[in-house]
Chain A
């Protein structure tokens, strides 16, 4: 490289003469090396920097401590219970992750669980089979999600307010429809219905299988579909997404519908598991679902989503509940610790962001 620096080089490094050029090229090689090695580090580093990884570490740590504290903890029965209980929240958190990724929030999921329980229960009670029941349950969820989404995307109302209103309305409709009565007659396919929600295959609760399959589907969606890519883009910069020709309003509606339909699936499994449907089901579940989502790494400012975050976050929330119980701490403390971990998760996110910049 003895020739004169080109126009390009001079422009890129104004004020540098031909002598510097030699040194430059040596530098470049070194920088290139550094960049290559840094990229390799960042492949592993990327995992290290994700919240789900650290929450997973926390789960292992709590699990280790608990196995010393309580003999009952590491039993098959307890593990079965933990994974089954977390799965209902995990399924709902998968949908909530999508909403939170667009910088939105859905406070109505708990009430929607109650409403789905009633519409599903009434359908089965009227003598219909499991499939019609499932369709009614999902349709209920889809309609509620559609209303939320249209109000938020097209009328530009704040997600917090819309879904808070829906929280009250859905619960009220559930009470009206159920006439405030419990439903426990599930029609001709009652056995099948209760098997789906309550039993297990190969020693793993059915609802955990459903969570696993849905997590895999969401992982695929976030990574390999344009729907997933667009939702993430909207969370990053909705204006840019709009200018790129992404149908932002339609996408936002779809996100709320997806979130509600996840709740619909959870409701279907949950009623089968409990064997009864009341209009009070799912009260304060929005707290646990949002906590699981945020603990799993979703950023309330939008633009961040991990499919694995939902089950991992839900697992931590359930683990806290279970551990308190086994450690002999009164159940009245449970919500306190769920709330505390929610705040800690947001704090951790803040600290990591500051460190990154």
Chain B
């Protein structure tokens, strides 16, 4: 059964139709690549799933239940976590502090409640180990590589044990070696039963980790194919419009 289903999602901003009648579904442990040129509607669709926008019309279902996201917190509570493109990390804090930012663990000492560093670092360490990342919880994020920062951002999402992780351009602007690290992280998420939506411009990344690819063009979905049934050439054609639909 599908974990997340979108049915004929439409979003208009005044006279502009950012999305018209988009369907998308994703199963647990599945990774779907969401591709399209700038302005094709990728970010709008992402923001609808993340609860930033309400769709003008259409339905969102999670585990078959209809849901409405009025704000990002609603989406988070429904089991959707987002890894933002700019990663939304605090450089001046440690990796462990970033993982627990906004939901710090506390312990009681007499009448006082204090941050439980030991527990947070230990758990963050376990999350990093679970992602097979070598990131150390006590290191400052400021000193980290792009790949390690991604690991921190992804580890953050694991705290609430989400069903679906939405990733916005996680491999843009990082080195080749770090891309490999991030792709390993995505595979790890799939292995642990998470659904992943990967928004990316990078064809090789989508073909390496995704099971399916959905292509948006001018607000409509023009293709939704298994990775094994398509090719980078076809997807490129679909994105730029050389191929009408597939």
Least distance between A78 CB and chain B CB atoms (Å):
38
One digit per residue, 1 when the CB lies within 8 angstroms of any chain A CB and 0 when it does not, for chain B 138-172 equals: 00000000000000000000000000000000000
* A237-B184 in contact (CB<8A): no
CA distance A225 to B181 in the complex (A): 34
Least distance between B200 CB and chain A CB atoms (Å):
17
Least distance between A264 CB and chain B CB atoms (Å):
24
> Which stretch, B11-19, B38-46, B98-106, B217-225, touches the partner chain A?
B98-106
- Residues on B with C-beta less than 8 A from A14 are 176-177, 180
Which residue in chain B gives the minimum CB-CB distance to A246?
A: B102
- Residues on A with C-beta less than 8 A from B88 are 237, 239-240, 243-244
Instruction: Judge whether A303 is part of the interface by a CB distance below 8 angstroms.
Output: yes
- Residues on A with C-beta less than 8 A from B203 are none
The 8 Å CB contact of A236, one of B73, B87, B90, B180, is: B90
CA distance A220 to B111 in the complex (A): 14
- A14-B176, A244-B101 as given contacts; A304 in contact with B90, CB under 8 Å: no
Instruction: Judge whether B53 is part of the interface by a CB distance below 8 angstroms.
Output: no
Least distance between B189 CB and chain A CB atoms (Å):
15
Least distance between B127 CB and chain A CB atoms (Å):
16
- Residues on B with C-beta less than 8 A from A77 are none
CA distance A303 to B92 in the complex (A): 6
* A246-B184 in contact (CB<8A): no
Residues of B84-120 whose CB lies within 8 A of A:
84, 86-93, 97, 101-104, 106, 112-115
- Residues on B with C-beta less than 8 A from A229 are 93, 97, 101, 104, 115
CA distance A236 to B72 in the complex (A): 22
- Residues on B with C-beta less than 8 A from A44 are none
Instruction: Judge whether B78 is part of the interface by a CB distance below 8 angstroms.
Output: no
One digit per residue, 1 when the CB lies within 8 angstroms of any chain B CB and 0 when it does not, for chain A 215-245 equals: 0000010011110011011011101110111
One digit per residue, 1 when the CB lies within 8 angstroms of any chain B CB and 0 when it does not, for chain A 129-170 equals: 000000000000000000000000000000000000000000
Instruction: Judge whether A354 is part of the interface by a CB distance below 8 angstroms.
Output: no
Least distance between B53 CB and chain A CB atoms (Å):
16
Which residue in chain B gives the minimum CB-CB distance to A244?
A: B102
* B106-A226 in contact (CB<8A): yes
* A237-B91 in contact (CB<8A): yes
Instruction: Judge whether B183 is part of the interface by a CB distance below 8 angstroms.
Output: yes
- Residues on B with C-beta less than 8 A from A225 are 113-115
* B93-A11 in contact (CB<8A): no
Residues of A242-293 whose CB lies within 8 A of B:
243-246
- A14-B177, A244-B101 as given contacts; A8 in contact with B91, CB under 8 Å: no
Least distance between B179 CB and chain A CB atoms (Å):
9
* B180-A240 in contact (CB<8A): no
Least distance between B58 CB and chain A CB atoms (Å):
25
CA distance A14 to B180 in the complex (A): 8
- A12-B177, A14-B177, A229-B104 as given contacts; A240 in contact with B90, CB under 8 Å: yes
* A241-B101 in contact (CB<8A): yes
* B93-A236 in contact (CB<8A): yes
One digit per residue, 1 when the CB lies within 8 angstroms of any chain B CB and 0 when it does not, for chain A 1-43 equals: 0000000100111100000000000000000000000000000
The 8 Å CB contact of B93, one of A226, A232, A239, A246, is: A232
- A11-B183, A225-B114, A243-B84 as given contacts; A232 in contact with B92, CB under 8 Å: yes
- A236-B91, A241-B101, A303-B90 as given contacts; A11 in contact with B176, CB under 8 Å: no
Q: Count residues of chain A with CB under 8 A from any CB of chain B.
A: 26
**Interface size bucket, B side?**
20 to 34
Instruction: Judge whether B126 is part of the interface by a CB distance below 8 angstroms.
Output: no
Instruction: Judge whether B66 is part of the interface by a CB distance below 8 angstroms.
Output: no
Least distance between B162 CB and chain A CB atoms (Å):
14
- Residues on A with C-beta less than 8 A from B114 are 220, 224-225
- Residues on A with C-beta less than 8 A from B87 are 240
* B104-A240 in contact (CB<8A): no
- A233-B90, A239-B88, A240-B88 as given contacts; A246 in contact with B115, CB under 8 Å: no
CA distance A236 to B98 in the complex (A): 11
Tell which of B101, B132, B183 has the most Cβ of chain A within 10 Å.
B101
Least distance between A301 CB and chain B CB atoms (Å):
10
- Residues on A with C-beta less than 8 A from B113 are 225
* B180-A246 in contact (CB<8A): no
The 8 Å CB contact of A226, one of B72, B104, B112, B181, is: B104
Which residue in chain A gives the minimum CB-CB distance to B156?
A: A244
Residues of A157-216 whose CB lies within 8 A of B:
none
- Residues on B with C-beta less than 8 A from A13 are 177
Least distance between B236 CB and chain A CB atoms (Å):
24
CA distance A246 to B89 in the complex (A): 13
Least distance between A214 CB and chain B CB atoms (Å):
17
One digit per residue, 1 when the CB lies within 8 angstroms of any chain A CB and 0 when it does not, for chain B 181-202 equals: 1011000000000000000000
* A240-B89 in contact (CB<8A): yes
Residues of B at the A interface (CB closer than 8 Å) are: 72-73, 84, 86-93, 97, 101-104, 106, 112-115, 132, 176-177, 180-181, 183-184
* Sampled A-B contacts (12; CB under 8 Å): A8-B132, A8-B184, A11-B180, A11-B181, A12-B181, A224-B112, A225-B114, A225-B115, A226-B115, A229-B93, A243-B84, A303-B92
